[in-house]
Structure 1
Amino acid sequence: MRLPDFEAWAIFACVIEHRSFSAAADAIGVSKATVSKAIARLEASLGTTLFHRTSRRLSLTDSGTALAERAARILAEAQGAEEAARDAATAPAGLVRIAAPITFGIRFVADAVADFLTAHPGIEIDLRLSDARVDIVADGFDIALRIADLPDSSLRARRLAPVTVRVVAAPAYLERHGTPRHPAELGEHPCFGYANAIGTWHFRNGSGEEASVRPSGPLVTDNGDAMLPALCAGLGIARLPDFIVDDQIAAGRLVEILPEWSSGNAIALHLMTPPSPLRPARVEAAIAFLSERFRTLCLAR
């Protein structure tokens, strides 16, 4: 029986994470030639090319993309097995890569990271903030925090806390154009769109009635905070998470409309991880800390 080339698979995963042969070689402490030979061995064994290579750019082929998740899983399981075999008294150490939405990341995750680093001085955090949906496996993240109604996925998801979505507008806008009394009326108003989730807004009220509307308007952006100036200027209506708009509502700059109608989808904060159940101790520590932090806070401000 011929055993798989586990070293080559692990190096393949490192190249994907670091986006170059040289950076992967530096990260794992070997020569670039060693990395190149490992990838060549793996490609020969699989009978396919894993990377497109030019003098300036390295990118995955279709075959490489299809195998990226499995390579990451092999590496993660090997790291998890090694760490599990070490002395249980050894404090976890090493790098944890976390992705989070911009506004939520600045308002909540940054503070949580500071507290986590204080409690775990041997761990390092690489925190990346973006409202785009990252590919956790391909981009090499250990953890991603997402606020969404999640579709089916091979990723592991942990629901941490519900998120209330509010439909809001400025008082001046409502004075000029009237206040919608039913979701169907939103189609008659300019509504701001969230670029990463453009589509139909779904609603449900306490009686079980459902309604849907496909809004349109003068502004589309990929960040909720970026809608606030136009909202407060009375240029339209938006649907945003409570942690973005509640302070504006309390200050009187925005007003919630259709409060008796909730989002038709179960929007919540989720903690996402790659599919493998085996993770390094440092990642398990971060998962446990963030889960408890945000489950306890429930996004309270």
Structure 2
Amino acid sequence: MSQLEDMQLFVSVLEQGSFTAAAEVLGLSKQFVSRRVAALEARLGVRLLNRSTRKLSATALGQSYFERARRILQDVAETDMLVSEQGASPRGALRLAAPMSFGTLHLSELLPAFMQRYPEVNIELDLSDRTVDLLGEGYDMAIRIGELADSSLIARQLAPLHMVTCASPAYLAMHGEPQTPDDLRAHECMLYGHSKSVEWHYWRDGRSQRIALHGRYRVNNGELVRDAAIAGLGLTMLPTFIVGDALASGQLVTVLEAYQMPAGKVYAVYPQHRQSSLLVQFLIDYLREALTSQG
């Protein structure tokens, strides 16, 4: 086997967690895979794996070799793809992470349509409201909402993000409508996120005002917060892509309309080594066009 093939075997063993699992994925025998990895260690003159009857793990040198080898294999695959496609159409596999609410409300329709357009594309989608480690966890791209932390990742804007403060008509009829952000402290406010204390940010006449709130109901999923607001539990601040339909139907109404709220953005972020990926660029362009047309 070639040096590149031995590298692929080693990467597969660590990704799958065992020689047996890697052999099954690759369609080879366990003995063959084990023998080739041992030959790789002999050629390099180092031990790459810690072997025991219970588990398999990488040595410090093995982990370093694994990370570099995986990047090399990705670059080789992308190079083959770019040449074979000649810029015409994407193909291959992409591992994508996105926030739960955004994924269920938008990607549930957009990704199947993208895959129908490009039948040689495979997508693995992970919906989670946590911030995944793209490099450490092996993601090709993630969708992120709001302010981005400083990092080495490349970010491209997909769509603007509009926030509203809203509640059900029944809640407002019972408790009254807040006239200023300060009035929120006297209301039941439902918080979207993980922190026990959340700040809602408003502007008016060029002045900024942040209101720190401690709510009885805090959820890390926007759709559940929206449903609680519709049920009359209190006020909430959410993006319009989550509450737009409820506002249009009258189940929720906006308040504090004289005050501006943070103008955020929806981004696609990806590692620098994926910048040349035709598949990543096609998907970003597709999502940006689709989300823009949705308003």
Cα distance between partner residues in 2 of 1:70 and 1:157? 23
Cα distance between partner residues in 2 of 1:169 and 1:102? 22
* Contact 2:201 2:208 survives alignment (8 Å): yes
Moved over 6 A (4+): 5-9, 44-54, 57-69
Partner of 2:136: 138
Residue from 163, 178, 181 that aligns with 2:176: 178
Deviation, structure 1 residue 225:
1.0
Deviation, structure 1 residue 226:
1.0
- Tell me, what secondary structure is at the counterpart of 1:204? strand
Cα distance between partner residues in 1 of 2:162 and 2:179? 19
Structure 1 segment 8-87 matched on structure 2, within 5 A: 14=12, 18=16, 21-32=19-30, 34=33, 38=37, 55=54, 72-86=70-84
- In the alignment, is residue 286 of structure 1 matched against residue 283 of structure 2? yes
State TM-score, norm by structure 1: 0.78
Greater Rg over alpha carbons, structure: 2
State TM-score, norm by structure 2: 0.79
Residue from 257, 266, 269 that aligns with 2:266: 269
Cα distance between partner residues in 2 of 1:193 and 1:234? 14
Cα distance between partner residues in 2 of 1:242 and 1:194? 14
Cα distance between partner residues in 1 of 2:190 and 2:51? 40
* Contact 1:202 1:210 survives alignment (8 Å): no
Return closer, same or farther for 1:200/1:77 CA change in 2, 3 Å cut-off.
Answer: same
Deviation, structure 1 residue 220:
1.6
Cα distance between partner residues in 2 of 1:243 and 1:185? 26
Residue from 203, 206, 210 that aligns with 1:205: 203
Partner of 1:123: 121
Cα distance between partner residues in 2 of 1:27 and 1:35? 14
- In the alignment, is residue 254 of structure 1 matched against residue 252 of structure 2? yes
Letter paired with 1:160: L
Structure 1 segment 186-225 matched on structure 2, within 5 A: 186-196=184-194, 199-225=197-223
Provide the aligned length of Structure 1 versus Structure 2: 292
Cα distance between partner residues in 1 of 2:211 and 2:64? 37
- In the alignment, is residue 150 of structure 1 matched against residue 177 of structure 2? no
Structure 2 unaligned regions, length at least 5: none
Deviation, structure 1 residue 274:
2.1
- Tell me, what secondary structure is at the counterpart of 1:290? helix
Q: Percent identity?
A: 33
Letter paired with 2:113: D
Deviation, structure 1 residue 156:
1.6
- Tell me, what secondary structure is at the counterpart of 2:189? coil
Return closer, same or farther for 1:249/1:92 CA change in 2, 3 Å cut-off.
Answer: closer
* Contact 1:8 1:39 survives alignment (8 Å): no
**Is 10-19 or 158-167 further displaced after alignment?**
10-19
* Contact 1:105 1:129 survives alignment (8 Å): yes
Deviation, structure 1 residue 189:
2.3
* Contact 2:202 2:259 survives alignment (8 Å): yes
Letter paired with 1:234: G
Per-residue CA deviations over 1:65-95 (Å, capped at 9, x if unaligned) read: 8887655533322222232343627754322
Return closer, same or farther for 1:66/1:258 CA change in 2, 3 Å cut-off.
Answer: farther
* Contact 1:97 1:125 survives alignment (8 Å): yes
Instruction: Tell me the C-alpha RMSD between the 2 structures.
Output: 3.7
